[in-house]
Structure 1
Amino acid sequence: MDKGKTPCCSPVFVQNPHLNSLKEDFLYHFDLGTGTHDLPAMFGDVKFVCVGGSPSRMKAFIEFMASELGMEDPKSEYPNICAGTDRYVMYKIGPVLSISHGMGIPSIAIMLHELIKLLHHARCKDVTVIRLGTSGGIGLEPGTVVITKQALDGTFLPKYEQVILGKNVVRDTDLDQSLAQELLQCSKELNQFETVIGNTMCTLDFYEGQARLDGAFCFYTEKDKQDYLNKANEAKVCNIEMESTVFAAMCKLSGLRAAVVCVTLLDRLKGDQISSSHELLQSFQQRPQILVSHYIKKQLGAKAAERH
């Protein structure tokens, strides 16, 4: 496996010697660059980066975070820092950055390449990155929040595999277990919803890749589906989504402390289609935000206490 190296001179480690020869590093999908923006001034104070698939959800998160941190301005419209592009959105309040990543491994991987370089160029230190998402549960009640222990591929192995220069490169998908435990403790303190730590299966597709029976194509039976999901259950998979393996692999390579926090919208052992009301789904989607905002407030409070 390609385990990468441990961080050395840079708090956010970028493993690319070719970047040193660039006159300017333009982060195309963010519409930000080292030659056009003062990245240390804009982002040097960032300590927490929260990412999620939906642009509207990540805007709602930064507004919620501003309120939770007491930094809310009733007249303020939080500007999209990536307004020059339509690929991703980015919002900032204090030390918290909120970014959308789209759906699936390719979309989040592109975002992460540019995010890691952004944090590196901004000379950020001690950064924690958390993915907030939705997922399908395995044997869990809808609305349960899952903190990922290990990110597994569709064969239940903790690896992310990518073809580079025609060769298969396999990378580890380890996540920070102490961070997972800290988040679980935060949920216990909140005592608002069920939260568990468990394995997360990451797939390349929403339909066939997740053993659904309701896609445009399906060449397997209901029994085949149930057998596969039962095997996932035996591998201690608690939920299924589409980004966690590459997220874990890239954060590990760059020395970033990382976690994945997803809410389940349905129990896949009982069906394929999401049938809950819009209002209920909205309340479910707020649960990872509530948990992570509590964690951030707790961390900032601890830092403030240390300074005094």
Structure 2
Amino acid sequence: MTDTTQATAAASGASATEAFRAKQRSEAAVSQERVSTLATEVITAVHDVIRRHKVTYAEYDALKAWLIGVGQDGEWPLFLDVWIEHVVEEVANENRQGSKGTIEGPYYVPESPRHEAEATLPMRADEPGTPLLFQGQVRAVDGTPLAGAHVEMWHADDDGLYSQYAPNLPKWNLRGTVVADAQGNFRIHTIQPAPYQIPTDGSCGKLIAAAGWHAWRPAHLHVKVSAPGHQLITTQLYFQGGSHVEDDIAQAVKPELILDPKPATSGKGNEVTYDFVLDPVEV
């Protein structure tokens, strides 16, 4: 990877923080009782860790310095999405009957260019990587095809970099929203992404180094699928046999989300079929 394509923790952290602040979020009021319960239990859990492990003042000061550094680096979205979000997603979607979801991650950008049911994601003329045809159908849990469903996809390139979070990539590179046809079918032409390390030159990297962990995520496709009257599903799809599928730092891999691409019938690259089943909106 050349210096001109390096993505620094500070730059990607700032972009992730800015994107989160711009994101439309539920502002539903939370009761004081709920806040008190959650905050008290989190703080009590920290107290328990301190007592059980006899945390020293030197370790306490190191924690304070690290927490300050996470904020200064703009890496709170990265930290929370890598180490915390997978449990929030697990709890939030535990009653779904349809397709499995997983974490959104910090690199989502809304309002990507819209395309017809068969489309090629925006990419450079000489985009490196193995061509991939990702196709399937969007259905309701009762099997009804969902005409006009939106299949929103984004992913890293062959260097493990995301557009809008790394320099010198076109704005919408490998990002797009495909509108399914009358039978809920879609065909998306893209390239297979590469595994990548989360940025390690910032505070999250310091934690990884201090703990002796690895910083790798397996190659994956990010997808959001939606249709009127149905619950949005946010997921990531991985590749069978890929590096770090078994030890993803974000702990986001589920067996149902592992793809097994085969050589494409066109003779160019690989192809895979994966259907999405959406739950009805809860009333």
- How does the TM-score come out when normalised to structure 2? 0.26
- How does the TM-score come out when normalised to structure 1? 0.24
Larger Rg: 2
